[in-house]
């Protein structure tokens, strides 16, 4: 089997630190915090030998990063993707640190990944790879140390295999070692939809602030995977017109609005979004066009939802973006340069650390349920998610409005950094030891 080499065209981690330092200037925090947050606490690399179905052995690069544990154990997903590399894992772990601090979770930031195209593996090869990952990381993770979860191209079944491997090695039940598990293996109701639901709630909070009617707003979603599907579905149910969705192979557009549920069901059956409108029954009910991802990003819609990968909106294509609101469901979908240009153009960006935090919030709920041995109802999960996000959104909104000319991202970072700095100050920083303050 041929493994695609990871293209290292941009150093995502360098960019993430550069952005952290720039945004940190709006926050009155200690130099010690900024120095500490400019590097990961610990990083583990492992080469995973996996027996393939033809009897040969392939070696896969695997990473796990503890970025910060100032607020609690590290928390962050595991990505299976051909482009996974150390720099990407560290950047994603840094963003998890900011996210957990912003929404008030007792977690630090972490992340993990394997450089692999999981679609090229058989189901049994995928299971062997998932178990090999946990075997390599078994001393690095744990319910009080570092708690992984799903991310791009990993899912609840993979989380279930990893929980099982951890328990086989340690000889005890530890459901809280990983979140995003199947319900029957200790998962939480509402976890699968949580990232999309959280982003939907943030969009609703913004809509209420701006006094717009859902029926007047059109939406395009780039990246129709787990998170992208759930936000599209919920927006449509609330009355928004979802006119375009795409995946890595291309997209579909319908001026009158797509049947989101129908597109999703067809995609599950065919695994190919383009096939939906070319061959599926939805073809007969809705006029549509096939579009490229570049065309989707430039559509004259009100709301653009990048829900796929990093740096999707960058210096090369930012001028083409027409949407007034951008909801960052993906992590880091807008490059720093593009972000500044969008800000100057008066666009409103709900930043990733807020917009996609629903996933880690419900992962936290899952961990709490696992530790107390008391599962919650779906209503309870949804109510608590909404309460947490509403508080976080309001705080970000108020901070932005109190300080002139800062973005929602800048406000979000400022709140998160202040929270993290509080922990350092409680332990004593230079100011305390030198001046007694």
Concerning whether 111 is annotated as a catalytic residue, the answer is: yes
Number of residues this chain uses to bind ligand NAD (CB under 6 A):
24
Stretch that binds ligand NAD, among 140-148, 325-333, 375-383, 424-432 (CB under 6 A): 325-333
Q: Does 331 bind ligand NAD (CB under 6 A)?
A: yes
Q: Does 152 bind ligand NAD (CB under 6 A)?
A: yes
219 φ, ψ (degrees, to nearest 5): -135, 140
Q: CA 89, CA 12: separation in Å to the nearest integer?
A: 9
The nearer residue to ligand NAD, 150 or 187, going by C-beta atoms, is: 150
The two three-digit tokens of residue 384, written as one number: 């608590």
Binder among 108, 150, 187, 190 for ligand NAD (CB under 6 A): 150
Q: Taking CB under 6 A as the rule, which mask of x and - marks residues 88-127 in contact with ligand NAD?
A: ----------------------------------------
* Residue with the CB atom nearest ligand NAD in the bound state: 225
Q: Does 330 bind ligand NAD (CB under 6 A)?
A: yes
As measured in angstroms, the least distance from the Cβ of 35 to ligand NAD is 27
Long-range contacts of residues 6-12, Cβ cutoff 8 Å, at least 24 apart: 6/82, 6/83, 6/84, 6/85, 6/115, 7/83, 8/85, 8/87, 10/311, 11/87, 12/87, 12/88, 12/90, 12/91, 12/310, 12/311, 12/332
Q: Exposed, middle or buried: residue 288 (CB in 10 Å: 0-12, 13-18, 19+)?
A: buried
Q: Does 176 bind ligand NAD (CB under 6 A)?
A: no
Q: What is the dihedral of CA 28, 31, 33, 39, to 10 degrees?
A: 130
Q: Does 410 bind ligand NAD (CB under 6 A)?
A: no
Residue among 12, 40, 192 at smallest CA distance from 108: 40
In which order are the strands placed within the sheet that holds 42-51?
42-51, 57-68, 108-115, 74-81, 146-150
Q: Does 85 bind ligand NAD (CB under 6 A)?
A: no
State the catalytic residue, choosing from 111, 181, 267, 388. Answer: 111
The nearer residue to ligand NAD, 247 or 366, going by C-beta atoms, is: 247
Q: Does 226 bind ligand NAD (CB under 6 A)?
A: yes
Residues that bind ligand NAD (CB under 6 A): 150-153, 195, 222-228, 246-248, 293, 307-309, 329-331, 356, 359
């Amino acid at each position: 089997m041929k493994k695609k080499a990871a293209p290292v065209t941009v150093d995502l981690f360098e960019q993430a630190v550069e952005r952290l330092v720039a945004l940190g200037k709006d926050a009155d925090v200690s130099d010690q915090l900024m120095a500490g947050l400019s590097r990961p606490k610990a990083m583990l690399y492992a080469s995973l030998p996996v027996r393939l179905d033809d009897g040969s052995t392939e070696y896969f690069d695997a990473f796990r990063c503890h970025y910060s544990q100032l607020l609690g154990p590290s928390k962050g997903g595991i990505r299976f993707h051909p482009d996974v590399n150390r720099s990407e894992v560290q950047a994603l772990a840094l963003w998890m640190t900011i996210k957990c601090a912003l929404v008030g979770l007792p977690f630090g930031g972490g992340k993990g990944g394997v450089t692999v195209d999981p679609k090229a593996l058989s189901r049994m090869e995928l299971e062997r790879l998932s178990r090999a990952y946990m075997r390599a990381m078994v001393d690095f993770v744990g319910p009080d140390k570092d708690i992984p979860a799903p991310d791009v191209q990993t899912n609840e079944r993979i989380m279930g295999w990893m929980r099982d491997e951890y328990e086989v090695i340690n000889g005890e039940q530890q459901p809280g070692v990983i979140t995003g598990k199947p319900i029957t293996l200790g998962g939480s109701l509402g976890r699968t939809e949580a990232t999309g639901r959280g982003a939907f709630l943030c969009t609703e909070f913004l809509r209420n602030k701006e006094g717009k009617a859902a029926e007047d707003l059109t939406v395009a979603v780039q990246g129709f995977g787990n998170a992208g599907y759930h936000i599209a579905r919920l927006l449509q149910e609330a009355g928004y017109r979802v006119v375009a969705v795409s995946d890595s192979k291309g997209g579909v557009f319908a001026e009158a609005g797509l049947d989101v549920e129908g597109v999703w069901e067809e995609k599950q059956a065919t695994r190919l979004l383009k096939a939906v409108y070319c061959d599926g029954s939805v073809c007969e009910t809705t006029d549509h066009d096939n579009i490229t991802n570049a065309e989707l990003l430039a559509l004259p819609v009100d709301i653009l939802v990048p829900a796929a990968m990093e740096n999707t909106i960058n210096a090369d294509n930012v001028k083409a973006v027409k949407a007034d609101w951008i909801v960052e469901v993906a992590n880091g979908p807008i490059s720093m340069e593009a972000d500044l240009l969008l800000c100057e153009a008066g666009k409103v960006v709900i930043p990733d650390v807020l917009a996609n935090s629903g996933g880690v919030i419900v992962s936290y709920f899952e961990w709490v349920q696992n530790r107390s041995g008391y599962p919650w109802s779906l209503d309870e999960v949804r109510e608590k998610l909404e309460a947490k996000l509403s508080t976080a959104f309001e705080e970000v909104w108020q901070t932005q409005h109190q300080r002139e000319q800062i973005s929602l991202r800048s406000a979000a970072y400022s709140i998160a950094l202040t929270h993290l700095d509080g922990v350092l100050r409680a332990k004593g920083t230079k100011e305390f030891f030198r001046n007694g303050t």
